[in-house]
Amino acid sequence: MVGVSETLERARKEFGERFGGSRPQISVFAPGRVNLIGEHTDYNGGFVLPMALPLTTVIVGSRRDDDKILIITTAHGADEPHTVEFKAPREEKPLVPGVPKWANYVKGVIQLYRAGPVPGFNAVIASSVPLGGGLSSSASLEVATYTFLQQLCADDGDAVQKALTCQKSEHTFAGVPCGIMDQFISVMGREGHALLIDCRSLEVTPLPLADPGMAILITNSNVCHELTGSEYPERRRQCEEAAKVLGKDTLRDVSFEDLEAMKERLSDTCYKRARHVITEIARTTYAAEALQRGDYKEFGRLMVKSHNSLRDDYEVSCPELDELVAIAIEVPGVYGSRMTGGGFGGCTVTLLETSAAERAKQHIQSRYRGSPTFYLTKASAGAGVITVQ
């Protein structure tokens, strides 16, 4: 797996070539994430259980003497312009979303950054988080941008505020009404731990994930999803409608018994969406308990239930993801597997015995209809500064 050091190397090399051999003053990183369980629960005030990945977005750069911001990416599609230039935002001239699309993730954070007027700077972005793979490439870019600005403006600000600002930027500049999970874990991730996040109170419980006998395998279906499509906002709207009809602020406040008792008030679709969310919130809390007592079998069983609910009730899976899960759970030593992230492509996450990892990869490789990419991964730290000698 490409670690921070290789991504950093790529960014520094590009910086040197583009800016007359100079060395960047600032180097920061922010991780992507994989969610172990608790899908489409964050914007319903529920629980999620993600971990930060060693796949990261790196930004290196230096302050300029004028108000120009010049950013180069080595990470985004070949059909997109790789360099953008604009003036640092001022009250009378705010930044607005536009093209290329990747720059909106950066511009949004710069526009919403509150800890001081942003000065001009040159920067290079590099990333090892696969784009559109459901591992939070966009949140990691937002959080890396914020972390870079903190260095530029000497601000050691509030971590929750940082995640919330990045989420707001995704809403307003990328047009995706996402929950808080991706930005939160990218900021708060902890090495060797998954985080149980209560998305209503934002309380975090770190759960150790460092058992050498247990491994986490991510499989990229290499089918790309587009969260800016209508499906994600549509699901969110259906959940809000269901909560309203059931007389509550969010589906977190609705019990399974209440849902069943008031079933007739909901359309079939809203009922199914609500059933996924309510059962998924319960599964996530049970899974966290199972993890705490080292009961991986139970955790894996809940993962498969989660996948089935996402497939049948929430309808955000796709044939490739269903196939990857079905193939993975055939392998002896696999505890469970499920789609992870927003859905409609992207990745699955599989919990398994470490000794079964090679066997699982080979089995999936030989049976899956497409060409998968594997990441045998570890829970990693949240965003930070890279100290370069």
Our CB check for ligand GAF shows the closer of 14 and 42 to be 42
Q: Which residues are CB-neighbours of 243 under 8 A, at least 6 positions away?
A: 44, 249, 250, 251, 253, 254, 274
Q: d(Cα 122, Cα 138) in Å, to the nearest integer?
A: 20
Q: How far is the CB of 89 from ligand GAF (least distance, A)?
A: 25
Choose between 36 and 59: whose C-beta lies nearer to ligand GAF.
Answer: 36
The reply to whether 246 sits near ligand GAF by the rule CB under 6 A is no
Comparing CB distances to ligand GAF, the nearer of 139 and 351 is 139
CA dihedral 361, 367, 370, 371 (to 10 degrees): 30
Q: How far is the CB of 177 from ligand GAF (least distance, A)?
A: 9
Cβ atoms of residues 306 and 39 within 8 Å: yes
Quick one: which of 15, 19, 29, 43 contacts ligand GAF (CB under 6 A)?
43
Residue 133 found at the interface with ligand GAF (CB under 6 A): no
Catalytic annotation, pick one of 65, 66, 79, 182: 182
Applying CB under 6 A, what is the total number of residues that bind ligand GAF? Answer: 10
Q: Does 179 bind ligand GAF (CB under 6 A)?
A: yes
Q: Which of 124, 141, 181, 207 binds ligand GAF (CB under 6 A)?
A: 181
Q: How far apart are the first and last CA of the chain?
A: 23
Residues 6+ away with beta carbon under 8 Å from 78:
none
Q: Tell me how far CA of residue 84 lies from CA of 53, 81, 99, 101, 125, in angstroms.
A: 28, 7, 9, 11, 12
Sole binder of ligand GAF in the list 40, 76, 107, 162 (CB under 6 A):
40
- Pick from 39, 142, 313, 320 the residue near ligand GAF by CB under 6 A: 39
Separation of alpha carbons 100 and 112, rounded Å:
19
Tokens 């600002």 belong to residue = 165
To ligand GAF, the closest distance from the beta carbon of 67 in angstroms equals 32
Which residue in the set 37, 59, 118, 178 belongs to the binding site for ligand GAF (CB under 6 A)? 178
**Does residue number 341 form part of the binding site for ligand GAF (CB under 6 A)?**
yes
Active site residue 295: no
Q: How far apart are CA 336 and CA 248, in angstroms?
A: 33
Shortest reach from residue 260's CB to ligand GAF, in Å: 24
Size of the chain, expressed as the number of residues it contains: 389
- Residues forming the site for ligand GAF (CB under 6 A): 39-40, 42-43, 178-179, 181-182, 341-342
Active site amino acids: 182
